[in-house]
Structure 1
Amino acid sequence: MKKKKVLFFIYQMGAGGAARTMLNIINNLDRTKIDPVLVTLNYNGNYEDYLKSDINFIKLETKRLRSAIFPLAKVIRHEQADAVFSTIPNYNTVAILAKLLSFTSAKSIVREAAYLGGDFSANMKLRAYGFLYRFSDKVIALSNGVKENIIRRYNVNPKKIQVIYNPVDVNGIEHLIGDGNIAGEHKSIFTDDAKVIITAGRLVKDKDHETLLHAFAKLKRRINTKLVILGEGELEASLKAKAEELEIADNVYFLGFQRNPYIYFKHADLFALSSLHEGFGHVLAEALATGIPVVSTNCRPGASEVLNDGEFGVMCNVGDAEDMAVKLYETLTRDNEQLMQMVENGKERARAFDAKRIAKQYEESFMQTIGQNDRS
């Protein structure tokens, strides 16, 4: 069988979940079937160092997304791509237009990762994306909840949509834990008798770290504990101010972006997610893979699917600091046998999202979609 060339387009291989997903897909594709080409704008991203050396990596000579359409079309044409794959609505728009302007027979495959919409203006914007998606050959949703949202708010034909969960590099996480070390200046956080709660994610409104801070303040009155927050974002200063206001600043540690967050997860006692909504909840699956108990808000649709409505982790109400504090306390004070069972169940659940398994699903989707050319 002749190898198929798939061009992957993303803004940059930065520190976000979309770049991490792209990395896990590309690195784990079967090279006897798929020849991957990665195209980004002219940025340097944190995940570039983790790309396999056999990947054809091209950077466009622009840092503006709107200026990428014609250069990307030229690359599609020059590389003779069989398919163009992109993720996130703005990037999908550019990829679809570039594919059309390449005047090639390449198939267009877009991925939707977020549960978007709600108010009138947002829903109208999604309808516009949905109109453009009519020019794509397949839409991949990262959860069943996201698929339902695409059908309802984007008005996309359900027959065009396929659900493929996020890939989690379970083996890679295990290697990073085995080979990794917590930074010297952070080691003291994990070496005393205090229970350590950890979270990771961009410091933005949707992650609702403020509710977590309120929950932690309530929990701190009952148990000796610390809170470690990994990630960067626009709300860092206001969240630090909130920690001061709640008189917990001495026990809350903002450690920024960490290249190897998994070694931090492994040394903590519990992972907490306070998001308002998640399309999938990739970090939950990664936390399960590290062998740490999880407490998460029931941020639909993602968390409920990853944790199977509480089977593989404890769930609490969205935006409810009181409920979260109770669930954090109950989990931290479980006996060792209960915690070990929780950890083993979580590890088994993470295997369902293993990158090699998910990459295989992407391979089959790419080959099936490209195969439409061969039948036409």
Structure 2
Amino acid sequence: MLIVAQNFQVGGIQRSLINMLEILSEESNIDIDLFVFGDGPLLKEVPKSINIIQGKRSLRLITTPMSVVNKSKKVLDIFIRISFMVKVRLRGSKTIYQSLFKKEKRLKKYDIAISYFNDVPGNYFNQGTNQYVDEFVKAKKKVAWIHTDPVIANFDKNECKLKYKNFDQIVCVSNACSNKFKEFLPEYANKVETVYNVFPINKIKILGSEKLNQIKDNKISLVTVARIDNTTKRINIIPEIVNKLVKNNIKNFKWTVVGDGPDLVSITERVKDLGIGNYVELVGNKSNPYPYIKSSSLFVLVSKFEGYPMVICESLILGTPVLTTNFAAASEQISNGDNGIITSFDEDSIFYELHRILKDRNEIEKMERYISNNLYSNTVAKKQLKSILEIKDE
């Protein structure tokens, strides 16, 4: 089997791939090559039994975020990355990637080849895994993974028609996303299957039990773990909701935001401007975010759209109830009123639900009891994965 990935920077898709590789590495009858274009701190978490093939320098740089390249302070790398930015805008990403792929090592023939990343439409650099598997890999079966809602994410219909033409199967991470894709490209409906993300449940519980140096008080603790991005994750609405809660005399909480991203500075400044630093804290990226989730009373997701966010399942594994916006697959993860609350996308609805919950601790305690009595399991996801990859139980 060959799995193709863009990079192993910190992110949900990267983390879901590591989880899948851990499950697959337990199968003695599978030989796995992982071709990763770029670098990233999560690469060290790939199981040792997986054969890692990395792209050459130019391919690694084009698939590494500019912010990461800048932090390296390597002048030549920064120059090469900027030159690629210019070339891609002049000639298009497909042409540039094609020229780079031709310089890569030719791989062997595979039974199954997987393009694991969305080739984000309209993005110059989050591209290439579909193109590589389609044009540069010989395999009996080719599979493309999709981790988001194709309609809300503005996938281009004509581009996708070409992109997925030569794939035998298209895997979506939720039934809702599968249904959306079938409506989006009905001619490929017979190729579409659902495979939920799998999770290393015991590992998550162990990591979650690490102690945090936090002052314990009687406040209700809220947590959000996400890329600090206003476009999709909408972290910028958190200070506004907090400010509204405080003005309505709800002050018995502390909201911790874990993550890094392009809008971290502007949101930090907004928290200062509103004078709400006692109620919301942005702690930046953490290599182990699980203790923050485990020690919190409620996980809050405010995204504009999601595919099947791993962090919701991780919260449930750690026994933490969830308040989430009503993205397409929300009801596949949250039983409304049991293990969490599903709310509308608008700021006022999120404020209303938080206001209600923060006034009554009993609701959180009720959801915690439900979660402890209905433990999270990988059973369905493993069955789906084995079916797609044609893995027979030994």
TM over 0.5, yes or no?
A: yes
* Residues matched between the structures, number: 349
- Partner residue in 2 for 1:316: 343
What letter is aligned with 1:317? S
1:85 aligns with 2:114: yes
Aligned match of 1:201 = 226
Partner residue of 1:216?
242
Separation in structure 1 between the aligned mates of residue 252 and residue 206 of structure 2, nearest angstrom: 31
Residue 246 (structure 1) shift: 2.7
- Matches of 1:197 and 1:254, distance apart in 2: 12
State the partner residue of 1:144.
175
Query: Offset of 1:367 from its aligned partner?
Result: 1.6
Residues 99-108 or 146-155, more deviating: 99-108
Secondary structure at 2:236's aligned position in 1? helix
Counterpart check, 1:330 vs 2:347: no
The 3 A distance-change label for structure 1 pair 69 and 296 is same
Q: Percent identical across equivalent pairs?
A: 21
- Superposed displacement of residue 368, structure 1: 7.2
In the TM superposition, residue 333 of structure 1 has moved relative to its aligned partner by: 4.1
Aligned-partner Cα distance in 1 for 2:259–2:132: 33
CA distance in 2, matches of 1:105, 1:116: 26
Cα offset, 1:288, TM superposition: 1.3
The runs of 5 or more residues in structure 1 that have no matched partner are 1-5, 370-376
Tell me, in whole angstroms, the C-alpha distance in 2 between the residues paired with 1:242 and 1:367: 51
Counterparts of 1:25 and 1:275, CA distance in 2: 24
Alignment of 1:225-244 (within 5 A): 225-244=253-272
**1:276–1:319 Cα contact (<8 Å) kept:** no
**CA separation of 1:28 and 1:102: change in aligned 2, threshold 3 A:** same
- Does residue 366 (structure 1) correspond to residue 383 (structure 2)? The answer is no
Report the AA paired with residue 366 of structure 1.
L
Report the alpha carbon displacement of residue 154 of structure 1 after superposing the two structures with TM. Answer: 3.7
Match of 2:201 among 136, 153, 170: 170
Q: Structure 1 residue 25 and structure 2 residue 20: aligned?
A: yes
C-alpha distance in 2 between matches for 1:243 and 1:117:
33
- Give the alignment of 1:175-194 within 5 angstroms: 175-178=206-209, 180-182=210-212, 184=213, 187-188=214-215, 191-194=216-219
Equivalent residue number for residue 282 of structure 1: 310
2:139 corresponds to 1:109:
no
Aligned equivalents of 2:223, 2:253: Cα separation in 1: 11
Query: Given the alignment, which residue of 286, 306, 314 partners 2:333?
Result: 306
2:47 matches 1:52: yes
- Give 1:73 shift: 7.7
Q: Distance in 2 between matches of 1:40 and 1:169?
A: 22
1:271-314 residue CA offsets vs partner (Å, 9 max, x unmatched): 1111111111221111111111221122x212232114454211
After TM superposition, give the deviation of residue 56 of structure 1 in Å: 0.7
Q: CA 1:366–1:31 in structure 2 vs 1: closer, same or farther (change >3 Å)?
A: same
**Structure 1 residue runs of 4 or more that deviate by more than 6 Å after TM superposition:** 73-76
Task: Considering Cα pairs closer than 8 Å and 6+ residues apart, tell me whether 1 or 2 has the greater RCO.
Answer: 1
Q: 1:66-111: CA deviations, max 9, x gaps?
A: 5555776897953332111123332897344333444634321011
Quote the offset at 1:330 in angstroms.
Answer: 2.7
The whole-number CA distance in structure 2 between the counterparts of 1:82 and 1:71 is: 25
The 2-side partners of 1:350 and 1:134 are apart by: 40
Contact 2:196 2:384 (C-alpha < 8 Å) held by counterparts: no
Report if aligned partners of 2:338, 2:367 keep a CA contact under 8 Å in 1. Answer: no
Which residue does the alignment assign to 2:323?
A: 295
Work out whether residues 96 and 135 of structure 1, in 8 Å CA contact, stay in contact via their aligned partners in 2: no
Question: Could you give the per-residue CA deviations for residues 154-173 of structure 1, whole angstroms, max 9, x where no partner exists?
Answer: 44521110011122222111
Q: 1:112·1:141 contact (CA, 8 Å) conserved in 2?
A: yes
2:113–2:142: 8 Å Cα contact kept in structure 1? Answer: yes
**Which residue of 2 is the match for residue 3 of structure 1?**
none
Change (3 A) 1:128 1:155: farther
CA–CA separation in structure 1 for the residues paired with 2:31 and 2:386? 11
Q: Residue type of the partner of 2:159?
A: A
Change (3 A) 1:273 1:59: same
- Structure 2: state its 5+ residue gaps: 64-92, 121-125
Q: Name the counterpart of 2:298.
A: 270
Letter in 1 for 2:150: L
What secondary structure does 1:232 align onto? Answer: coil
User: What letter corresponds to residue 34 of structure 1 in structure 2?
Assistant: I
The separation in 2 between residues aligned to 1:76 and 1:359, in whole angstroms, is: 32
Aligned to 1:251: 279
SS of the counterpart of 1:85?
Answer: strand
- The structure-2 alpha-carbon separation of the partners of 1:252 and 1:99, relative to structure 1 and needing over 3 Å to count, comes to closer
TM superposition score normalised by structure 1: 0.83
